[in-house]
Structure 1
Amino acid sequence: MAAADTIHPGRKWTDWEARLRNAPASAPALFSGSDLDGLPEPVRRYLTRAIAPDTRLTRCVHLRMRGSIKLRRWLPFRARQILSPHDGFIWAARVAGVIAGSDRYLDGDGGMDWKLAGLVTLVHQDGPDVSRSAAGRGGAEAVWLPTTLLPRFGVRWSAQDDTHITASYQLGDTPIVICYTLDPDGYITSFVFDRWGDPDSTGLWAWHPFGGEITAQRTFGGLTIPGSGRLGWHFGTDRWPSGEFFRYQVTQLQPTPDR
């Protein structure tokens, strides 16, 4: 993973991390059954599977992952991420050994910066559309830190039936409404939400279905998360085969210690 560690070796990564760490501190509490009071049974089943008893209710986590990303063709990547689902994220990666950069959502602003061999700019995007899209991504990635999906953090839950549940909250100015499909044991098998974007590169931004299939669960400490999956645009439609662009496996997860 050394390659990913050199993506932002200096001040930029350190400054971004500090901005996320300066978000509200973790609640000085441990997970218990009372956190599930009043929730529909399918939601309780999911959260009970995802969070072990007495797990600290942290709001920020460090992850490492690997997989493949579709940039015209499928290319391998390795990445690290700082994720605080109610505040933002930084995702820094190295793709095919020669493309490096980051996606981020910090203080209400989203951005993407990617270079070839550290010299040639491939992507530099920011602005309101990118920010709204990045906020949606950050909200969807809360499944990698399920403690942040508890009602005490402002998340509203509903259940459509025994295997379909919905989480809703606000990240900045962006509404987050994510629908999960569960297996009989309460593990997430797929999810979908409306994400702001321009997946066809037409210059016209709008809400489009985004989501994917979870292919494996992984447990890190007291957290069981969707550890592997296939993600992309147009999930749940006939355009999903062409919309898929991201296949991942989380290899490390470490909640950030309380400040």
Structure 2
Amino acid sequence: MGKIILIIILILAVGIVSAIALGKYRWHLATETVRSNLEAARLPIKPLTFDSRKIADLPAPVQQYFRATLEGGQPLISTVRIAHQGTFNMSETDEKWSPFTSTQLVISQRPGFDWDAQIAMMPGINIFVRDACIAGEGILKASVLGLATVADVGGTPEAARGELMRFLAEATWYPTKLLPSQGVKWEAIDNSRAKATLKDGNIAVALDFSFDETGAIATVRTDARPRTVNGKMVLAPWHGRFWDWEMQDGMRIPKAGEVAWEMPDGSLKPYWRGRITNISYQFAG
């Protein structure tokens, strides 16, 4: 009897391991397809380098940001590959933080990215998450072990707008994308803030950027980012902040950040805290 039980346990263990491996393989294939589609939507970048004379008409804090971030002649970024690690809050109401690791591919023109994450729910059990903007389409998918889908949002203008907002906020990691020559329009708010607007196809988004005394981007914010709550898409205030600025390939970028939803009482509910563990660039030309 003991041998039979042992055999059953071994069969179950092999089945579980095989299922986990199959889920990872299927998710990996989907990632390859998504990133191939992202690459296929790529457009040429012009000009090839940053001309510091072209920022003279921008709001003062934006000029200070570019002067602190880029040197004249800096090649413009075409592709970014990023690895992160951090924690993700899986609850809309409580504090249920789980560790994650992720990779991200970003294409500057046409604006797009694919964020591919694994969130550890418990030992051996990961949630696979894809957050992406591909050729003007927003995508959000989550799957337990890559086998059981628990979220699948996309194909709507609201999803596209939300992902383009993320792309614009994260341009702090690929700062040449924030230049006017790359499609970003800047408008002054006050001495330390400016509004950035980016358009992709029929979708236009705007974020308020605040800058510290060194010229670094301190926060980004919008009053109305699309958010799924109880299965419904709503608009909610959204907030991001950045720190640990370092030089990377001749540019100053933040290596850590946090994003949060703003509650009705004005408090912030963070849901993503992460740090860059690796970043590499390909430049135009």
- Give the TM bin, normalised by the shorter chain: 0.7 to 0.9
Structure 1 residues 94 and 30: CA distance shift in structure 2, 3 A: same
Aligned pairs for 1:140-179 (under 5 A) are 140-179=169-208
CA distance in 1, matches of 2:171, 2:249: 17
Equivalent of 2:272 in 240, 246, 249 = 246
Q: Give the CA deviation at 1:136.
A: 2.1
Aligned pairs for 1:187-206 (under 5 A) are 187-201=216-230, 203=232, 205-206=233-234
1:34 maps to 53
Q: Give the CA deviation at 1:44.
A: 0.7
2:138 maps to 110
Q: Percent identity?
A: 24
CA distance in 2, matches of 1:158, 1:109: 27
Equivalent of 2:257 in 225, 229, 237 = 229
Q: Give the CA deviation at 1:82.
A: 1.1
**Structure 1 unmatched runs, 5+:** none
Moved more, 59-68 or 190-199: 190-199
Structure 1 residues 88 and 192: CA distance shift in structure 2, 3 A: same
Structure 1 or 2: more helix by fraction:
2
**Structure 2 unmatched runs, 5+:** 1-23
2:238 maps to 210
Task: Specify the code of the residue in structure 2 equivalent to 1:19.
Answer: N
Q: Give the CA deviation at 1:153.
A: 1.4
1:89 maps to 113
CA distance in 2, matches of 1:33, 1:114: 42
Equivalent of 2:83 in 64, 72, 81 = 64
How many residues align? The count is: 251
Q: Which has the larger radius of gyration?
A: 2
Q: Give the CA deviation at 1:102.
A: 0.9
Contact 2:98–2:119 at 8 Å: present in 1 too? yes
Q: Give the CA deviation at 1:48.
A: 1.6
Structure 1 segments, 4+ long, off by >6 Å, are none
CA distance in 2, matches of 1:123, 1:9: 18
**SS state at 1:38 partner:** coil
**TM-score normalised by the chain length of structure 1:** 0.86
